[in-house]
């Protein structure tokens, strides 16, 4: 199945099926690129036609937005810009504040750091359990009316929350982790997006590097955000690496790379799915984008399905504190930290 002739719609915007998640240029994953490497990657992405860039106030506690602001905005008309609020940092610690006042203040900070007067797509990064979703969406609806943002998104939220939010103001996109090894979106929210005409934006579509061959037998460096995730800890990690090896064999038989197979599988799930892999490597970026020219058989994609059943991956997706910050559905029997 060729994915090339399938641009995706995000609210009023039309984008390619693969965009760029910018988090790991400034945040969470190690090793982190130096400033010149990050700038080269972003400018190369523009040059090869990437038209959807995703950042957030949280990433580098503002540093990622600043990076995009000084690197990309001379070609502002060439891409759709997405950022996020609610989940942010104070004194080096992350926290959640979905109050209208906090959302308004964060948006002003985002506009300043990005060096723009308008952000195309602005997400509520997480659901604040202490603030009704209607109030948080209402703050962004007022920002749409003021011309400061073009469309509203949600991140890591459930189908029920999506429907409540959509009743206040049309939601353009739902962003959630989605890959062969994290399939929670298939419980309900993926189809809810289809029902409501909402784009589904898959972050970590290559399983946080595991299904791109980017994680070796030694695991991830100390200080990398993945090191605290149960799936990257023994004994879960060893089992998951066995799955990754089997996945690699499927990719080899199909004549593509592991990352390309994972991205193709994600994009094949529904025509409203967009993938935003992140990378610090120009070569890997080009490899990811080449997925759009692949012609993979239904049998190949079915083999991925058969390997990565809901129960196949060992260990919870998040540690306890991080799991408490997401509103996404869980599947029956899913392990919890």
* pLDDT digits 0-9 by tens, 180-231: 999 999 999 999 999 999 999 999 999 999 999 999 999 999 999 999 999 9
In this prediction, residue 92 carries a pLDDT of 65
Q: Is residue 94 part of a domain?
A: yes
Q: Is residue 332 part of a domain?
A: no
Q: Is residue 66 part of a domain?
A: yes
CB 110 within 8 A of CB 83: yes
Q: Is residue 311 part of a domain?
A: no
The one catalytic residue in 59, 122, 123, 178 is 59
DSSP E strand boundaries for the chain: 8-10, 13-15, 20-21, 52-54, 80-85, 87-90, 93-96, 119-124, 149-155, 171-177, 199-203, 273-275
Per the annotation, the verdict on 123 as an active-site residue is: no
| Nearest CA-CA partner of 261 in 211, 309, 210 | 211
Q: Is residue 246 part of a domain?
A: no
CA distance 84 to 140: 11
CA distance 260 to 185: 20
In this prediction, residue 25 carries a pLDDT of 98
Q: Is residue 280 part of a domain?
A: yes
Residues of the chain short of pLDDT 70, as ranges, are 1-5, 90-92
Domain total of the chain? 1
In this prediction, residue 337 carries a pLDDT of 76
Q: Is residue 306 part of a domain?
A: no
In this prediction, residue 89 carries a pLDDT of 72
Q: How wide is the angle at C-alpha 58 spanned by C-alphas 23 and 81, nearest 5°?
A: 60
pTM of the model: 0.96
What is the end-to-end Cα distance of the chain in Å, rounded? 38
In this prediction, residue 93 carries a pLDDT of 72
- pLDDT by residue (tens digit) across 31-43? 999 999 999 999 9
- The CATH number assigned to the domain holding 199 equals 3.20.20.100
Q: Is residue 215 part of a domain?
A: no
Residue 33's domain comprises: 8-209+259-294
In this prediction, residue 90 carries a pLDDT of 65
Backbone φ and ψ of 288, nearest 5°: -60, -45
């Amino acid at each position: 199945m060729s994915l090339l002739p399938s641009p995706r719609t995000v609210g009023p915007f039309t984008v390619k099926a693969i965009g760029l998640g910018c988090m790991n240029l400034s945040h969470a994953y190690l090793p982190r690129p130096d400033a010149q490497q990050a700038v080269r990657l972003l400018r190369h992405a523009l040059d090869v036609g990437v038209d959807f860039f995703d950042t957030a106030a949280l990433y580098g506690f503002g540093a990622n937005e600043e990076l995009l602001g000084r690197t990309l905005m001379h070609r502002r008309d060439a891409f759709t810009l997405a950022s996020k609020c609610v989940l942010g940092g104070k004194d080096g610690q992350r926290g959640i504040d979905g109050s209208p006042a906090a959302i308004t203040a964060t948006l002003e900070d985002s506009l300043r750091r990005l060096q723009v007067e308008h952000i195309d797509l602005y997400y509520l990064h997480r659901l604040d359990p202490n603030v009704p979703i209607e109030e948080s969406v209402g703050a962004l609806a007022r920002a749409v009316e003021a011309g400061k943002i073009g469309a509203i998104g949600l991140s890591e939220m459930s189908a029920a929350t999506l429907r409540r939010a959509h009743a206040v103001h049309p939601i353009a996109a739902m962003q959630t982790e989605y890959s062969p090894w994290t399939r929670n979106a298939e419980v309900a929210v993926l189809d809810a997006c289809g029902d409501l005409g909402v784009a589904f934006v898959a972050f970590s579509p290559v399983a946080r590097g595991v299904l791109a061959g980017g994680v070796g037998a030694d695991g991830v460096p100390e200080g990398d955000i993945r090191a605290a995730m149960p799936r990257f800890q023994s004994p879960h990690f060893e089992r998951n690496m066995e799955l990754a090896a089997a996945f690699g064999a499927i990719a080899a038989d199909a004549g593509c790379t592991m990352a390309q197979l994972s991205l193709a599988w994600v994009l094949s799930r529904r025509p409203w799915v967009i993938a935003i892999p992140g990378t610090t490597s120009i070569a890997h970026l080009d490899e990811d984008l080449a997925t759009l020219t692949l012609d993979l058989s239904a049998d190949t994609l079915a083999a991925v399905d058969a390997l990565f059943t809901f129960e196949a991956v060992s260990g919870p997706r998040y540690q306890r504190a991080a799991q408490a910050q997401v509103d996404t559905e869980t599947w029956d029997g899913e392990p919890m930290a």
